[in-house]
Amino acid sequence: MKHKIIKTINTIVLLLIAANFTSAQTNQLPTPDLANVKSLQEDTMKWQTTGFKQANTMGGGEAPISDTGKFRVFVLMGQSNMQGAGRANELEAPYNENHERIRIWANGRWEYFVPSMRFGPGVSFAHQLAEFWPDDNIGIIKVASGGTGICGFEKDWSYERAQLTFDGDKGPLYEDLMNAVAEAKLISEPEFCGFFWKQGAADGTKKILANAYYDRFKQLISDQQVDLGVPDLPTFVPVYANDKDLLNFLLANMNEEDLLKAKNAASKPPENDEELLKAILSYINDQSLSEAKRLGGSRPYHATVMHAQNRSGREIPGVTALYPGRLPIGADGTHYSSDGYITLGKITASAVEEFYMGIDKTHLEAAIQQAQIEVNAQAENIGDQLGQYSQAIFDAATNAIAVAREALGNDLTKSGLDYALNTLAVQMEQFVPFIIYKAPLDSAIQQAQVVVSAQTENIGDKQGQYTQATFDAATNAIAAAQQVLDAAKQQNQIDEALATLEDNMASFVPNARDVPEFAALQDALDSAREKVDSAKVGNGTGEYSQDVFNIAINSIIDVQNVLDTATVQSVIDAWILTLDAEMAKFLPNVTGIHNAEFTDLRIYPNPVSDMLFVSADNLVGIKIIDLSGRVLIQKETESNRINVSALQNGIYFIQIVKNDNSVGTGRFVKRKH
């Protein structure tokens, strides 16, 4: 892409030179200033870098900055979910319209913020802040590139460090930011009001990057505060999980032995969740890559990165770590959907509002008081009769009030306040007297139906698809739950049906890998069984020795076990070859004499191309036999030389007869030069 841009610019420059040259011939004007042409070329290239590639598609044409109000500018940086995979054609008003007070830095100038291709969280972020500051203008400077590690954004950039996440060729992205800042200051009066950072997954692939993430992020924040001239510039970091959720995720991936090892490896026994999380992260970082992936997922050190981002929210002044929760994912299964980006932008904008406005806790205080009144009124009405409140429901409401009171006493963010309010409200909705409470099961059935219906066209054996058996099991589970919902007369029936449905839906997951294809191995097994079933055991000609028969039977048993347990295609393929090789040995006796074991038998060279040598005492006869049992060469001789050059490449058996009529068998491989 870079080379195409250079070629285009060079063409433009040549046309300009040609035009000036023609003008000079006609009007006797001076020759063009090549230094100015070169400066124009370099200035144009400055805005065509990787960092601005996507932002340049979000501009809706050059737009002036209003003289009224402040020009509040926010820096947005990060990787793919900051860059954005939302589709511009899915945007609705006002996000797809010119806004007189919203601008984005695109193509080296301030433009209307109207995406034409893809968009990220910046669109809804800017619009919500424009409503929050109705008299001011909002500007966005976005430098983002998918899959980029934090080293790609450093001020003290180096190709070698950036290349740790294969970002060296993207160039110094921090320099892109500062170029935009410098140019913006020449043509406007920006007041930098915040740094919105959405990044981290790329650094979760390498231990060395994850462990250094906190220090690098802290330095990036400090560099921006200095270079933008705003020592207290606030930073806003949406994180996939807070430390509590992160700990629960890791514990779910660990068995008791893992957990015990993690605790024992700590410098001192963990006494709280924070210390336990640190111990587990340290334990994962000390494991081999394969073990780390088992415990931490495909990006085994991403948990360390998220912990560093959470820590920055606690320890670095002006940093807000916020938790948007599980946002909708797009069709690619990795990035947010268009609705997901709009939600992320709004949530982050709310965090900005909280920072500049403060928090009003009166709504939570009122909700706690009302909940306490309702609970106190039923303190003498606990029981299992109709109209009474179960002890479990009473305790759950009491605990919810206690948790809300604890949150009220903490230094809440607005998102934390909303979470506390919603949690208390949900719990108090369930504070009802003893009746058959069907709502949770009804809701679970509807949700399960949505999940299953979404995969109707995604049934198959490939990775990421759902097997027919998995799909049918979920469908049957939904139908069974619906029957209970319609006919239940007791609460325990509802509760049991809900638990069963949840268990079944927990198993409704796509294939982690392609489902093995068993047909070829099954065919080979059936063929082997036919041969064995029709074989006659004995020492006569055309009969099969007991040893040969036992080997075939054992091979069949082994393959059946593989068919019952194998989950990987490579195992199936290997056993097809193994069974074929073992059944190639399933040959009848050529004579009526039982094969003997000759310790003095030597066959060489093996593999052989032309002359085969056979060494054995008292040798009187030799037969060369192919895998189907046909005798190809037969000699009654004491010579130990046999010319096999005429044979086709493959595996052959050699049968020798000694002067006492004992028979022995060997095997060799014929291979041409």
Give the per-residue pLDDT at 35.
Answer: 53
Confidence of residue 12 (pLDDT cuts 50, 70, 90): very low
Domain 50-357 identical in fold to domain 595-670: no
Token pair 């393959």 is found at 559
CATH of domain 439-506: 1.20.1270
pLDDT at 23 over 80: no
Q: What is the pLDDT of residues 594-642, one digit of tens each?
A: 445 667 788 888 888 999 988 888 888 888 888 667 889 988 876 778 8
Angle 257-263-265 (CA atoms, 0-180°, nearest 5)?
A: 100
Task: Say how far apart CA 464 and CA 458 lie, in whole Å.
Answer: 8
Q: What are phi and psi of 3, to 5 degrees?
A: -65, -35
Give the per-residue pLDDT at 583.
Answer: 80
- Using only the alpha carbons of the chain, give its radius of gyration: 37
pLDDT at 335 over 90: yes
Task: Say how far apart CA 159 and CA 17 lie, in whole Å.
Answer: 36
SS3 state of residue 519: helix
Looking at domain 362-429, its CATH superfamily turns out to be: AF1782-like (1.20.1270.90)
Q: Which two tokens stand for residue 278?
A: 């640190």
How are the residues of the chain apportioned to helix, strand and coil, as percentages rounded to the nearest 5?
A: 50, 15, 35
**Contact of 322 with 352, CB cutoff 8 Å:** no
Strands 118-119 and 595-596: unpaired
Please indicate whether residue 4 or residue 215 has the higher confidence score (pLDDT): 215
Please indicate whether residue 144 or residue 23 has the higher confidence score (pLDDT): 144
Rama region for 14: left / alpha / beta (φ>0; ψ in -120 to 50; rest): alpha
HEC profile of 147-164: CCCHHHHCCCCCHHHHHH
pLDDT at 585 over 70: yes
pTM for the full model?
A: 0.52
Strands 235-238 and 190-198: parallel
- DSSP per-residue codes, 592-636: SS-EE--TT-EEESSSBSSEEEEE-TTEEEEEEE-TTS-EEEEE-
Measured CA to CA in angstroms, residue 193 lies from 228, 292, 473 at distances of: 10, 39, 53
Q: What is the pLDDT of residues 52-67, one digit of tens each?
A: 998 999 989 999 998 8
pLDDT at 567 over 70: no
Classify domain 519-584 at the CATH class level. mainly alpha
Contacts of 401 (CB under 8 A, 6+ apart): 368, 371, 372, 375, 424
The total of other beta-carbon atoms located within 10 Å of residue 429's CB is 9
Q: What is the pLDDT of residues 591-601, one digit of tens each?
A: 433 445 667 78
Measured CA to CA in angstroms, residue 523 lies from 528, 557, 584 at distances of: 9, 15, 16
Task: Say how far apart CA 46 and CA 178 lie, in whole Å.
Answer: 11
Helices first, then strands: H and E counts in the chain: 23, 18
Q: Which two tokens stand for residue 291?
A: 């073990």
The amino acid that residue 580 corresponds to is: D
Give the per-residue pLDDT at 638.
Answer: 65
pLDDT at 39 over 70: no
Classify domain 50-357 at the CATH class level. alpha beta
pLDDT at 590 over 80: no
- DSSP per-residue codes, 215-237: HHHHHHHHHHHHHTT-TT--EEE
Host H or E run for residue 245: helix 243-253
The residues that bridge with 635 in the sheet, in sequence order, are: 622
Q: What is the pLDDT of residues 247-262, one digit of tens each?
A: 998 998 888 898 999 9
Task: Say how far apart CA 8 and CA 276 lie, in whole Å.
Answer: 57
Tell whether omega for the bond before 121 is within 30 degrees of 0, i.e. cis. Answer: no
pLDDT at 27 over 50: no
Domain 595-670 bears CATH identifier 3.30.365.10:
no
**Contact of 103 with 55, CB cutoff 8 Å:** no
Confidence of residue 386 (pLDDT cuts 50, 70, 90): low
The total of other beta-carbon atoms located within 10 Å of residue 20's CB is 16
Please indicate whether residue 186 or residue 434 has the higher confidence score (pLDDT): 186
Give the per-residue pLDDT at 376.
Answer: 95
Mean pLDDT is lowest, of 301-310, 495-504, 528-537, for 528-537
Q: What are phi and psi of 540, to 5 degrees?
A: -80, 170
**Contact of 225 with 319, CB cutoff 8 Å:** no
Task: Say how far apart CA 70 and CA 91 lie, in whole Å.
Answer: 27
pLDDT at 19 over 60: no
pLDDT at 547 over 60: yes
Confidence of residue 14 (pLDDT cuts 50, 70, 90): very low
Domain ranges in the chain?
2-46, 50-357, 362-429, 439-506, 519-584, 595-670
Confidence of residue 42 (pLDDT cuts 50, 70, 90): low
Percent of the chain with pLDDT over 90: 43
SS3 state of residue 87: strand
